[in-house]
Amino acid sequence: MFPSISSTRFLLLYLVLLFVPSPTVAFTWQVCSTSAGNFTANSTYESNLNLLLSSLVSNGSVPGFFTDTVGRIPNQVQGLVLCRGDTNATTCGSCLNNAKLEILRLCAYNKDAVVWDEECLLRFSNRQFLSTLDNDPTAALANLNQVNYEADRFNKVVNELLDSTADWAAYNSTKRYATGQAFNVTQAVPNIYGLAQCTPDMSTSDCRQCLKGVLQGLPQGRMGARNQGVRCNIRFEVTRFYEGTPIIWLLSPLTNATTPAENATAPPSAPTAHPAVGPTGKEGKDAPLAQLIN
């Protein structure tokens, strides 16, 4: 008896380890401009940049979004920071601080650069990009794992989930941020989690337009992907990667449901119940928006 118990434990531990994403793997992605040129050590541009970065980090962590301009052309530097919509001041502030160090290391002496971390982005440039809503540069990244089973359905659910999440972020959130979850996606992948966000200074239509762009550039057929720019970003994963209760709930019966068809097509009752942990923040007061997909 004893060996069989311990081998069961081993199997459980193995399964848990397999399915829990490692929180220690830090994500960083940068684009260092090749066309803007370099500044030199101890130059006016460098001191303007250092002032700008301090301002972005110290003033950006509470609203989670901040822009600033330091200096005069030709040594003017503009910058923007955006934290993911679910971060608090502590998480946002430490992400921005880290992004500041990384951008100076990864794009050393570059006049124009952007770095994306898991929970924030930082961009600066000698170009006056703040007066535009240009989302470039963008970076699309995909999970290495392909969707091998029920790929058509998986991809369809991803697109519906992200479309609804983008709608909510653009039209229903003053933060221009929303998350969603699709339930019962496939036998192999029970849940898909989605996120959409724009900078909060964008109009509803500009935000939706921007999200449409990153959605079109999102890699297909993967077990997770993101497309991130300066003004907006979109992402989905098969494991939960954001804090808080998602506002969009996409419900569907399992494709291979063993229950009779009439049961399977009825909207399931479980998801309409109020979640045990309510959404935080004034925007989260609404009940999740449930939609049925087929």
Minimum Å distance from CB 87 to ligand NAG?
7
Amino acid 110 reads: N
Total residues in contact with ligand NAG, by rule CB under 6 A: 38
Stretch that binds ligand NAG, among 22-30, 75-83, 98-106, 182-190 (CB under 6 A): 182-190
Nearer to ligand NAG, 84 or 235 (CB): 84
Is 42 a binding residue for ligand NAG by CB under 6 A? The answer is: yes
Task: Name which position in 148, 263, 272, 280 contacts ligand NAG (CB under 6 A).
Answer: 263
Question: What's the DSSP call for residue 75?
Answer: S
Q: Are 132 and 199 within 8 A, CB to CB? A: no
The site string for ligand NAG over 106-125 (x = CB under 6 A, - otherwise) reads --xx----------------
| CA distances for 87 relative to 11, 14, 107, 141, 211, angstroms | 35, 31, 26, 22, 20
Closest distance to ligand NAG from the beta carbon of 15 (Å): 20
For 90-142, the DSSP string reads HHHHHHHHHHHHHHHHHTTTBSSEEEEESSEEEEEESS-GGGS----S-EEEE
Q: Kindly give the pairing relationship between strand 192-198 and strand 177-182.
A: antiparallel
Burial letters 256-276, b for 16+ CB under 10 A, else e: eeeeeeeebeeeeeebeeeee
CA distance 164 to 144: 25
104 touches ligand NAG (CB under 6 A): no
Region of 97-105, 222-230, 251-259, 275-283 interacting with ligand NAG (CB under 6 A): 251-259
Is residue 38 part of the contact set for ligand NAG (CB under 6 A)? yes
| Cα gap 148→116, rounded to integer Å | 29
**Binding ligand NAG by CB under 6 A: which of 172, 200, 201, 279?**
172
Quote the CA–CA distance of 64 and 122 in Å, as a whole number: 11
Shortest distance (Å) from residue 58 CB to ligand NAG: 4
Residue 273 token pair: 């119940």
23 binds ligand NAG (CB under 6 A): no
Q: Rounded to the nearest whole angstrom, what is the least distance from the CB of residue 107 to ligand NAG in the complex?
A: 8
Least distance from C-beta 2 to ligand NAG, angstroms?
Answer: 34
Q: Which residues bind ligand NAG (CB under 6 A)?
A: 37-38, 41-42, 54-55, 58-59, 88, 90-91, 108-109, 150, 167-168, 171-172, 183-184, 187, 243, 251, 253-257, 259-260, 262-264, 268, 270-271, 286, 289
